[in-house]
Copies of this chain bind each other. A is one copy, B any other.
Amino acid sequence: MENFVFHNETKLIFGKGTIEKIGEEIKVAGLKKVLMLCGSGSIKKNGVYDLATESLKKGQISWVEVWGIKPNPVLSKVHEAVEIARKEKVEAILGIGGGSVIDSAKAVAAGVVYAGDIWDAFVGKYKVEKALPVFAILTISATGTEMNGNAVITNEKTQEKLAVSSKALYPKVSIIDPSVQASLPKEQTVYGAVDAIAHILEYYFDGSDALAQDELSEALIRTIMVCTEKLLNDPNDYEARANFAWSATLALNGLTAAGRRGGDWACHRIEHSLSAIYDIAHGAGLAIVFPAWMKHVWRQKPQQFIRFAKKVFSITSDGETAALDGIEAFKSWLRRMGAPVSLRDVNIPSSDLDKIVENVFRSGRTLGQLKKLDRSDVKKILELAF
């Protein structure tokens, strides 16, 4: 096990009927005016907007609304919200929505207190050490952003999808009422599951050894899988929704990362290029990339892939066969849940592979932890994914 620091100060309020606590939480933090960031309007249909605004009124919190945050949230929208936040002199940012909205809320919170373009933070020219306080009401469990300091934004001009991470960006308070997710389209539940599982696997397969984390990671993956299957049968199954939601939060709140080597993150980097170029759902991209990456790198640490096969998919074969059977079982499960598992499934032509490889290496950083990947590795992974 590697040395680590675990320090996660987000207050997570979880369960039925918890959205109405937002006003009180902002009030006791001594804040009076917030910028409310929202998506495309589904929160008006499922009642979340009314619950939240009612609660803000009760807490005597005033707010300004910015609507229209989209999946794969874009930089121009962040800029727009930063400007409004400054003009309106808000004291905090409240994101109500899925990962895209809350990631945008974090980018805005950091952007308001930075004189330059907040994109600087994403390309490594500026280190985020302060931000307005972020509050979150999560309506789609997937990215884990509700309990970490990460945000991923797409610069639509440069077609770069990049991440920033800072202690200052942990939400002060995040509220998760799993019952409001009952109205999600099936594919969003599936993509959320893929995203959460991928977060766990990025650490699980980073080359480190840590029995406790192996056990916890497998426990969370099994839980997410069981709950996803239940939710495809019955989207209103509250217990499945709740266990799914809590597991997705734990998938990227530091728990499975503690004692690891920082995660591998090659699959996320490759996927970020896919969704930056083709605007496909993040979870869809991960379902395509992850099994291909596994096939390409498993020989770096066969015992971990064999363990994965046995503990997650109860594979009974041994040695190399078990490792490969586990990867196939994972891919089959993704397919069975309705996720795309090849580039062809999302109509990306084989003639584009080189373009994708170039995008992946655009940010110039090294890629991969379990295996350092060069351009030819990524090309091979994309071919396996085709």
Given the interface pairs A5-B12, A9-B9, A12-B7, the reply to whether A243 lies near B212 with Cβ below 8 Å is yes
- Interface positions of A from 233 to 265, Cβ below 8 Å from B: 239, 242-243, 246-247, 250, 255, 258-259
A5-B11, A17-B3 known; A259 vs B242 contact (CB < 8 Å): yes
Task: Point out the residues of chain B lying under 8 angstroms from A11, CB to CB.
Answer: 5-7
Kindly specify which of A48-56, A111-119, A213-221 makes contact with the partner chain: A213-221
What 1/0 mask marks residues of chain A from 82 to 103 whose CB sits below 8 Å from any chain B CB?
Answer: 0000000000000000000000
Judge whether A184 is part of the interface by a CB distance below 8 angstroms: no
A121 CB, nearest partner CB in chain B, Å? 23
B14 A4 Cβ-Cβ under 8 A: yes
CB distance from A346 to the nearest CB of B (A): 31
Whether, in the assembled complex, A209 has its beta carbon less than 8 Å from a beta carbon of chain B, the answer is: yes
Contact indicator per residue, chain A 1-37, by CB within 8 Å of chain B (1) or not (0): 1111111111111111110000000000000000000
Complex copy number for this chain: 2
Q: What is the CA–CA distance of A259 and B243 in the complex, to the nearest angstrom?
A: 9
Nearest-CB distance from A304 to chain B (Å)?
15
- Residues 206-231 of chain A: 1 if any B CB is under 8 Å from the residue's CB, otherwise 0? 00011110011011101100110000
Q: Which single member of B3, B247, B258 contacts A212 (CB below 8 Å)?
A: B247
How many A residues are at the interface, by size bracket?
A: 35 or more
Q: Are B239 and A258 neighbours in the complex by a CB distance under 8 Å?
A: no
Asked if A255 and B258 sit within 8 Å, CB to CB, the answer is no
Q: Nearest Cβ distance between residue A18 and chain B, in whole angstroms? A: 7
**Contact between A246 and B220, CB atoms less than 8 A apart:** no
Chain B nearest Cβ from A303, distance in angstroms: 14
Contacts of A246 in B (CB 8 A): 1, 212, 258-259
Q: Bound state CA distance, A15 and B14, in angstroms?
A: 31
Nearest CB in chain B to that of A11: its residue: B7
In whole angstroms, how far apart are the Cα atoms of A242 and B259 in the complex? 9
Encode contact with B along A130-156: 1 for CB under 8 Å, 0 otherwise: 000000000000000000000000000
Residues of B within 8 A of A222 (CB): 215
Assess whether B223 is in contact with A215, with CB atoms less than 8 Å apart. Answer: yes
Cross-chain contact A220 with B226 (CB below 8 angstroms):
no
Chain B positions within 8 Å of A220 at CB level: 212, 215-216
B residues within 8 A CB of A7? 9-12
A231 CB to closest chain B CB (Å) equals 13
Residue of B nearest to A311 (CB): B219
Which of B1, B2, B211, B239 contacts A211 (CB under 8 A)? B239
Which residue of chain B lies nearest to A16 when distances are taken between CB atoms in the complex?
A: B3
- The contact sample of 24 A-B pairs, CB cut-off 8 A, is A1-B15, A1-B242, A1-B243, A3-B14, A3-B17, A3-B18, A5-B11, A5-B12, A6-B14, A7-B10, A209-B239, A211-B239, A212-B220, A212-B223, A212-B246, A212-B247, A212-B250, A215-B220, A215-B222, A216-B219, A216-B250, A242-B259, A246-B258, A255-B255
Beyond known contacts A210-B242, A212-B219, A246-B259: 20 more, CB 8 A cutoff: A3-B17, A4-B15, A5-B12, A5-B14, A6-B12, A6-B14, A7-B9, A7-B10, A8-B8, A210-B243, A211-B243, A212-B223, A212-B243, A212-B246, A215-B219, A215-B223, A216-B219, A219-B219, A242-B259, A246-B258
A-B interface, 7 closest residue pairs, ranked by CB to CB distance from nearest:
A3-B15, A215-B219, A7-B11, A219-B219, A1-B242, A6-B12, A212-B243
